[in-house]
């Protein structure tokens, strides 16, 4: 059975002045999978994510998401695709002047025609889904721990019940216990909600714990895709160092013992 492609990227090029970040990059994301995107610093992982979700316009190429050519579509068609996706940026990127509940409600205010009571109930449901206590809804981001901010950012990304979830370094800055708890939460939500996840990360434990496939960015393109085990056989110096180093071995050892 051939997996359905929900994101298809063809010939993508991103330039900043004379600097070429991506050149003729192509990648498919399949429905229901967690795809981890890795690469050395400066390889354009976050730039790729921002290109897909429409936060920056690439210099060339085509991006088809959920059957829509998002670069060539009308504003209305792009908006229709956007409501079917959710994005969590590093550290949650919450609005500091809003409570957690108000942050989660923000996309609903913009995109949904629902009354305030319903909006609040939906926000509280999302807050509970990501494992935050009910009292967290009344807190401001400054009162949250790093792990709680990540979960609040995830709750906001889930606000519109998306089909595709984009996560940018979701476990960066977390202690190992909090990072492992986030991985477990992601796996649970992926299963219960039927999510497709595009995950930018450098965390080998997260790659091993959550990802079906991994895409490696190098030399301005996708160098290789495959499982974490398959990455260990890729003939490239950076990939060998990354996936055959002591941290990779530790991540695989933990997975094998669980």
Question: Edge-to-edge, what's the strand order for the sheet holding 34-39?
Answer: 85-88, 164-168, 196-200, 34-39, 213-218, 221-226
Would you state the pLDDT for residue 122? 96
Backbone angles phi, psi at 87, to 5 degrees: -130, 130
Q: What stretch(es) of the chain map to CATH 3.40.50.300?
A: 30-60+163-258
CATH class of domain segment(s) 30-60+163-258:
alpha beta
- Is the pLDDT confidence value at 21 over 70? yes
Q: What is the pLDDT of residues 166-205, one digit of tens each?
A: 999 999 999 999 999 999 999 999 999 999 999 999 999 9
Would you state the pLDDT for residue 182? 95
Say which residues have a Cβ less than 8 Å from residue 27's Cβ, sequence separation at least 6.
7, 8, 9, 48, 215, 222, 225
- Is the pLDDT confidence value at 245 over 80? no
CA distances for 189 relative to 11, 28, 71, 108, 113, angstroms: 32, 22, 29, 20, 25
Assign 244 a pLDDT band (cuts: 50, 70, 90): confident
pTM score of the predicted model: 0.93
Q: What is the pLDDT of residues 118-171, one digit of tens each?
A: 999 999 999 999 999 999 999 999 999 989 999 999 999 999 999 999 999 999
Mean pLDDT of 61-79: 95
Would you state the pLDDT for residue 141? 95
Percent of the chain at pLDDT exceeding 90: 85
Assign 252 a pLDDT band (cuts: 50, 70, 90): low
Would you state the pLDDT for residue 183? 96
- Is the pLDDT confidence value at 72 over 70? yes
């Amino acid at each position: 059975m051939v997996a359905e492609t929900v994101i298809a990227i063809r010939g993508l090029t991103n330039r900043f002045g004379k600097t070429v970040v991506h050149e003729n990059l192509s990648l498919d994301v399949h429905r229901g999978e967690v795809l981890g995107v890795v690469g050395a610093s400066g390889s354009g992982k976050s730039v790729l994510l921002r290109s897909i979700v429409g936060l920056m316009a690439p210099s060339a190429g085509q991006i088809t998401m959920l059957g829509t050519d998002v670069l060539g579509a009308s504003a209305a068609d792009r908006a229709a695709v956007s409501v079917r996706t959710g994005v969590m940026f590093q550290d949650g990127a919450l609005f500091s002047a809003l409570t957690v509940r108000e942050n989660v409600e923000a996309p609903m205010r913009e995109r949904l025609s629902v009354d305030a009571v319903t909006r609040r109930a939906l926000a509280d449901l999302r807050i509970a889904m990501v494992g935050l206590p009910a009292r967290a809804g009344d807190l401001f981001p400054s009162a949250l721990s790093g792990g709680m901010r990540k979960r609040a950012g995830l709750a906001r990304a889930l606000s519109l019940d998306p089909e595709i979830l984009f996560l940018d370094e979701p476990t960066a800055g977390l202690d190992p216990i909090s990072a492992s708890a986030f991985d477990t939460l992601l796996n649970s939500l992926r299963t219960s909600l039927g999510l497709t996840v595009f995950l930018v990360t450098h965390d080998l434990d997260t790659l091993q714990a959550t990802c079906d496939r991994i895409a490696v960015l190098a030399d301005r393109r996708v160098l290789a895709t495959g499982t974490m085990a398959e990455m260990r056989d890729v003939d490239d110096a950076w990939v060998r160092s990354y996936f055959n180093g002591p941290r990779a071995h530790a991540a695989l050892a933990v997975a094998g013992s669980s």
